C-alpha cells in the first residue's frame, strides 16, 4: 500500500528539491505557498500544497 498526496514523479522530485532548498536557505527567508484554483475546488488547499508546507516547516525546524 502506497500513500502520497501526489503520485506524480515530477511532484515528488519537487518535494525533494524543496526540502533541500528550504534547509539551505534556513530561516533567512520567508516562504509562501500560493495555490490558484477555481472557487469550487473541494479539497482546498490541495494535499500537494499541504505536503509542501510540511516539508518546508520540517526543514526549518
Catalytic residues: 37, 41
User: Angle, to 10 degrees, between the axis of helix 47-60 and the axis of helix 9-25?
Assistant: 30
- Which residues have a Cβ under 8 Å from the Cβ of 59 and sit 6 or more positions away? 18, 19, 22, 23
Amino acid at each position: 500500500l502506497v500513500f502520497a498526496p501526489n503520485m506524480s514523479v515530477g511532484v515528488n522530485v519537487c518535494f525533494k528539491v524543496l526540502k533541500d532548498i528550504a534547509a539551505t536557505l534556513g530561516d533567512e527567508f520567508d516562504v509562501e505557498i500560493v495555490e490558484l484554483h477555481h472557487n469550487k475546488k473541494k479539497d482546498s488547499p490541495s494535499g500537494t500544497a499541504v505536503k509542501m508546507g510540511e516539508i518546508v516547516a520540517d526543514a526549518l525546524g
